[in-house]
């Protein structure tokens, strides 16, 4: 193979690569102006390389005219550089002005091309290595100078972008500079004959790599799928180089080993046959891989589209039950069988209660170990290898989604807590102002009602007490909680509260050992039981067979000195509506009690939280309404007294 033929093949490959890259960019770019300009650069480079092929085929005049259009290449690249840099967080006035005058750059480039054609700025010479090669005449100096100047301006814009941008944009620009240096090295040999340097342009044989590397440097952080393509391309390139080296070694040693027939085969033929075999292998690899996968794993249809669908839909989950619901639906659709996902969250097992699960014999157990989410397949022993592979891939993806959801819920909880604290500060200021403004007129109304008839005075006093209780509750809820802990006998405290409550017609019972004590603020804890008992009495009053039952027990904690006191307050009043159960019940101004402020349970929650405890509404088999309080029997070190906002 002569050097002329190698050069012609390299230019032809560069031209084909330019067209393919431009088509791909236009397909992916849509309305992205920077990638459209880069596609124009790729097309112009394809045309410029094709001009060399035309020149080699003996059409010198046409080839020279095509090559003299080279000023359009850096113009398109300048257009791309301006749009690429002047996007995202960077928006520069100077770049806006350059973008507005970019049509004038195109017109100037066309003018330079026309002048070059008119003044015969190019010619062709024959050398010992090539049939015909392009050179600039004296009139072509302006063409070459203008081309270099526009290229320098484009790289100056990129340098400005590298200074202004950060992150992936900055990395892309840095990669473009590296590729630009490679392209300059390749293109330098193009002008050697124009300066009388008789040296074959070996670097131009690698010109196809310049355009591919440039486009990859630009889009690798924008179009992630191109990275997978680049990974496969590098793999096949490495295999090609290994084969070339192997053929070279075989050509050298085959004669010495007595394989004279093999030694007589020209090396280029061996390389051509090997590359042909490699190309065939590349073409049939994916189809054969799919066929073999179906033989080994029958029934499985995993591909990138399925994985992308799974990933995108799992990311839409807003809660654990929603995540389980999506997971069961996706996997059941894929394997065409009912499936159950069991999720262990903080030691409690959750699953989606769907009609499919009653008959589901296949399950995936997802659990957390330390900070990692893991999974186990349950009941898959008789499943086909394809189904097991599908379940394992899905389980891995689902475990990752659990970690993402956990992080998302933690952030949402922290944000809610921050907003609640901010709301409390605002509410505290409002409550203090309201208490000051309302209590004086309330006192005046109370004194003015002294001489009214008894029935009217009683009605006024009742409403005044309700208003005063609302103001007091708002002050308690929104103000700071200063705890003064001491040893408190739980049974004695609750009996005191019950003795002061209006329990006419309500049968109450206690099941609390007299020796149960805990370190707490007795006044705050008394407020907790006053609110809970008053709330129960409000619903039990005038109800037949009204009952109130309070029980407590001590449970061993994780550490011997941190026992827990579990208190349950039961009553047989009307059950709480399902929409109000859970966290909603303890939010401020949520109530169904006539005349209530909606702050009673919210105050209870604040006091229990300040003590480091928990309060929940529980479903109990024997009682319609049950509130469960969990308090540490001893205060943690350093918490004898503190103020919470």
Residues of the chain with pLDDT under 50: 223-227, 352-358, 560, 642-645
Handedness of CA 379, 385, 386, 391 (dihedral sign): positive
At residue 86, the 3 state secondary structure works out as: coil
pLDDT of residue 355: 39
For the entire predicted model, the pTM comes to: 0.43
Q: Are 569 and 626 in contact (CB under 8 A)?
A: yes
Closest-CA residue to 611 (of 527, 549, 532): 527
481-644 — its CATH code? 3.30.565.10
Residue 570 pLDDT: 92
Q: Which residues are CB-contacts of 343 (< 8 A; sequence separation ≥ 6)?
A: 320, 323, 324, 349, 350, 351, 366, 367, 402
Tokens representing 398 are: 């689902």
Q: Assign 369 to helix, strand or coil.
A: strand
How is the chain split into domains, by residue range?
3-223, 243-294, 304-407, 481-644
What is the pLDDT, as a whole number, of residue 225? 47
Q: What is the pLDDT of residue 226?
A: 46
Fold match between 3-223 and 481-644?
no
Helices (H) and strands (E) in the chain, counts: 19, 15
Return the CATH architecture of domain 3-223. Up-down Bundle (1.20)
The pLDDT score that the predictor gives to residue 283 is 73
What per-residue confidence (pLDDT) applies to 193?
67
Q: Is residue 35 within 8 Å of residue 84, measured between CB atoms?
A: no
Answer whether 600's CB lies under 8 Å from 534's CB: yes
CA 540-542-544 angle, to 5 degrees, is: 80
| CA separation for the pair 143, 48 (Å, rounded) | 14
- Per-residue tokens: 442: 């309330």
């Amino acid at each position: 193979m002569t050097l002329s033929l190698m050069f012609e093949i390299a230019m032809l490959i560069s031209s084909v690569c330019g067209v393919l890259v431009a088509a791909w960019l236009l397909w992916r770019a849509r309305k992205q102006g920077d990638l459209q300009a880069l596609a124009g650069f790729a097309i112009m480079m394809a045309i410029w390389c094709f001009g060399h092929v035309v020149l080699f085929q003996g059409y010198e005049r046409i080839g020279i005219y095509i090559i003299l259009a080279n000023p359009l290449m850096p113009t398109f690249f300048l257009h791309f550089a301006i749009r690429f840099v002047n996007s995202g967080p960077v928006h520069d006035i100077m770049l806006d002005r350059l973008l507005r005058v970019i049509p004038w750059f195109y017109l100037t480039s066309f003018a330079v091309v026309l002048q070059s054609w008119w003044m015969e700025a190019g010619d062709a010479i024959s050398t010992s290595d090539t049939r015909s090669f392009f050179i600039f005449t004296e009139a072509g100096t302006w063409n070459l100078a203008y081309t270099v100047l526009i290229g320098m301006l484009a790289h100056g814009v990129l340098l400005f972008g590298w200074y202004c941008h950060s992150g992936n944009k900055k990395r892309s620009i840095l990669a473009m500079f590296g590729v630009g240096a490679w392209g300059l090295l390749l293109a330098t040999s193009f002008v050697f004959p124009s300066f009388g340097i008789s040296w074959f342009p070996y670097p131009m044989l690698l010109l196809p790599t310049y355009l591919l590397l440039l486009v990859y440097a630009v889009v690798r952080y924008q179009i992630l799928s191109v990275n997978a393509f680049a990974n496969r391309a590098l793999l096949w390139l490495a295999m090609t180089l290994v084969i070339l080296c192997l053929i070279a070694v075989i050509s050298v040693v085959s004669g010495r080993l007595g394989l004279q027939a093999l030694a007589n085969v020209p090396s280029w033929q061996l390389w051509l046959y090997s590359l042909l075999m490699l190309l065939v292998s590349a073409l049939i690899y994916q189809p054969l891989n799919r066929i073999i996968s179906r033989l080994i794993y029958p029934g499985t249809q995993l591909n990138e589209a399925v994985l992308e669908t799974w990933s995108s839909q799992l990311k839409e989950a807003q809660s654990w039950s929603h995540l389980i619901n999506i997971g069961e639906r996706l996997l059941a659709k894929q394997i065409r069988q009912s499936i159950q996902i069991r999720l262990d969250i903080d030691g409690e097992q959750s699953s989606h209660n769907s009609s499919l699960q009653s008959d589901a014999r296949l399950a995936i157990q997802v659990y957390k170990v330390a900070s990692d989410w893991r999974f186990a397949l349950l009941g898959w022993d008789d499943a086909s290898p394809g189904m097991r592979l599908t379940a394992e891939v899905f389980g891995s993806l689902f475990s990752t989604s659990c970690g993402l959801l956990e992080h998302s819920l933690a952030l949402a909880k922290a944000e809610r807590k921050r907003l609640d604290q901010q709301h409390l500060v605002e509410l505290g200021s409002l409550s203090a102002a309201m208490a000051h403004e309302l209590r004086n007129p309330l006192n005046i109304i109370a004194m003015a009602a002294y001489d009214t008839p008894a029935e009217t005075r009683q009605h006024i006093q009742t409403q005044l007490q309700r208003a005063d209780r609302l103001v007091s509750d708002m002050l308690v809820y929104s103000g700071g909680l200063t705890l003064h802990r001491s040893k408190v006998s739980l049974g004695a405290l609750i009996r005191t509260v019950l003795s002061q409550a209006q329990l006419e017609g309500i049968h109450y019972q206690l099941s609390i050992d007299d020796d149960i004590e805990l370190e707490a603020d007795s006044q705050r804890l008394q407020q907790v039981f006053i609110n809970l008992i008053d709330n129960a009495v409000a619903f039990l009053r005038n109800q037949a067979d009204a009952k109130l039952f309070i029980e407590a027990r001590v449970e061993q904690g994780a550490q011997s000195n941190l026992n827990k006191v579990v208190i349950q307050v039961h009553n047989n009043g009307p059950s709480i509506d399902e929409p109000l159960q859970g966290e909603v019940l303890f939010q401020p101004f949520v109530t169904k009690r006539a005349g209530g402020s909606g702050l009673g349970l919210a105050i209870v929650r604040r006091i229990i939280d300040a003590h480091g405890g928990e309060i929940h509404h529980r479903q109990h088999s024997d009682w319609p309404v049950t509130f469960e309080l969990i308090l540490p029997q001893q205060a943690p070190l350093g918490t004898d007294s503190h103020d919470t906002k």
